[in-house]
Amino acid sequence: MTEEATKRRRAGGRAGNKERAGSAAIDQMPWRLPVNPDRPTEPLDEDGVQAVHRATMRILRDIGIEFLNPEALEIMRQAGCKITGTNVRMDEDFVMEMLARAPETFTMTPRNPERELIMGGKYMLFGNVSSPPNSWDLERGKRPGTMESFREFIKLTQYFNCIHFAGGYPVEPIDIHPSVRHLDCLYEKLTLTDKVVHAYSLGAERVEDVMEMVKIAGGLSEEEFQARPRMYTNINSVSPLKHDFPMLDGAMRLARRGQPVVVTPFTLAGAMAPVTLSGAVALSLAEALAAIALLQYIAPGCPVAIGTFTSNVDMKSGAPAFGTPEYMRATQMTGQLVRHYKLPMRSSGVCAANVPDGQAMWETSNSLWAAVQSRTNMVYHAAGWLEGGLIASPEKFVMDCEVLQMIQRYFEEATFATTEEDLAFDAIKEVGPSGHYFGVAHTQARYQTAFYAPIVSDWRNYEAWNLDGAQWTAERAHKIYKAIIAEFEAPAMNGDHQEELKRFVAKRKQEGGAPTDF
């Protein structure tokens, strides 16, 4: 992309970035909570929805879910579930009673209240790639995650207005010891961003530390913290049919303090789930609903969401595939059932590609459009994901943000409005059969905001593009990523809170951090 192009300005583009006015690497869309106006794509008819629901209930009643957590088992026994060893079976009446307690919609308010999120309904929120052990970029290739890379991705997470929450670690900084990694990571997240953050449910100490740090960063009393969602966790079942100790432990700790829990089974059809997609979806739902029933029993009305991560494997190699037709249909079917249960939904922006090339973008586009079509509320890994989640890439992050911005623009009513002014009869009459629309008042009044303005797309012709270095998309994205990092300024933070955060991290490090033997 040319200097000229990267310096282009667009009306309104600075609204969410006042602090960077005049030096922005890109001219992006302002911060907003996108609202998805489309009727969802529904592959299942009403009989199909009922069939998946019945299969889900039958799994919960007749097969049961393993809860590898004695406390959770004891709670489920008290709740009247049938316990056999670690196996928990529950009937439909109980499950539906518990689900009815959960809110259809809830908010999450981070330290900057202007970044408050609404989760549920037609809202659609995007988060950064989470948890890859490696990073890859055009300069350095694939390498293990470091704190330096972690910081870069957190800066991208903060910079892009189309990224609404700071999910899991965008890359695992393996140069930081696991006992204290969560302390350093959360310190960076809470100071480099002012967006909603996430806690991994990987042990009591980590979960408690993150909640404490969120409180400190926001200057919140325990009462204020518990009064409304301030952060969230995401737990994964161990498919098939199991919830492990730390995930259930973390989920219960958050639920008891009013913080949201997203339950996301990872059911790869043909591997840890049936090869048939509605079966894989039913298994995934059964796992999710079992955990949600537990949480609603111990904390009635606590905010929860159902996540889907149902994809398929390549049946020749066993390799996981993402953004496939099967992935899209599984996501859409899950959306239908999640709406049936009246809960918010999470899905993902995913691909199997190893580099940010054509395959990466058709797979990611497929998964993101499936998110739109399923009326997903929270899109994990919406920017930066490669290699089935084993790589985080800053170029891919920038490229994905282009797609996310296009989805946000696609949601705007202006793209399908039919007022008299939109129908433009007078302009059509004025221009007639031999004119051009650029010069007329109807166009001039609107041209600055009429269309989506890209950040990394190059719409010049081949010759102009070629003269300017013939850069493919990933190369242009690389330059934008570097420019963003170079100009990044951390969001304002109360100095006392930052000092207290530092002291807390130092104290907890001195105490040894968290055990690493789980």
Q: Which residue has the tokens 């994990």?
A: 380
| Residues 46-65: x where in contact with its own copies by CB under 8 A, - otherwise, as a string | -xx--xx--x--xx--xx-x
52 vs 306, beta carbon nearer its own copies: 52
Site for its own copies in 316-345 (CB under 8 A): 316-321, 324-326, 328-329, 332-333
Burial (CB < 10 A; 0-12, 13-18, 19+), residue 22, is exposed
Alpha-carbon span 325 to 365, nearest angstrom: 12
User: Least distance (Å) from its own copies to the CB of residue 403?
Assistant: 5
Counting contacts by CB under 8 A, is residue 15 touching its own copies?
no
* One residue of 19, 222, 422, 499 binding its own copies per CB under 8 A: 422
Question: Can you tell me whether residue 497 is helix, strand or coil?
Answer: helix
**Residue 236: other Cβ atoms inside 10 A:** 17
Counting contacts by CB under 8 A, is residue 245 touching its own copies?
no
Beta bridge partners of 307: 346
Site for its own copies in 261-300 (CB under 8 A): 269-280, 282-283
Site for its own copies in 91-150 (CB under 8 A): 134, 136, 142
Counting contacts by CB under 8 A, is residue 415 touching its own copies?
yes
Residues 6+ apart with CB under 8 A from 279: 55, 269, 273
Stretch that binds its own copies, among 186-194, 221-229, 289-297, 355-363 (CB under 8 A): 355-363
* One residue of 18, 139, 429, 517 binding its own copies per CB under 8 A: 429
User: Least distance (Å) from its own copies to the CB of residue 247?
Assistant: 15
Alpha-carbon span 174 to 455, nearest angstrom: 32
94 vs 136, beta carbon nearer its own copies: 136
Stretch that binds its own copies, among 106-114, 118-126, 145-153, 407-415 (CB under 8 A): 407-415
| Per-residue buried b or exposed e for 116-125, using 16+ beta carbons within 10 Å of the residue's own CB | ebbbbebbbb
**Residue 275: other Cβ atoms inside 10 A:** 13
> Which tokens in the block code for residue 320?
């996981």
Residues 6+ apart with CB under 8 A from 99: 289, 292, 293, 296, 341, 342, 343
User: Least distance (Å) from its own copies to the CB of residue 14?
Assistant: 16
Counting contacts by CB under 8 A, is residue 498 touching its own copies?
no
What stretch of H or E contains 252?
Answer: helix 245-256
Counting contacts by CB under 8 A, is residue 431 touching its own copies?
yes
* One residue of 37, 80, 144, 469 binding its own copies per CB under 8 A: 37
Site for its own copies in 360-389 (CB under 8 A): 360-366, 369, 387-388
| Residues 447-486: x where in contact with its own copies by CB under 8 A, - otherwise, as a string | xx-xxxxx-xxxxxxx--xx---x-xxx--x---------
Half-sphere exposure of 91 (CA within 13 A, CB side): 3
User: Least distance (Å) from its own copies to the CB of residue 252?
Assistant: 20
Counting contacts by CB under 8 A, is residue 66 touching its own copies?
yes
Half-sphere exposure of 289 (CA within 13 A, CB side): 33
Site for its own copies in 170-229 (CB under 8 A): none
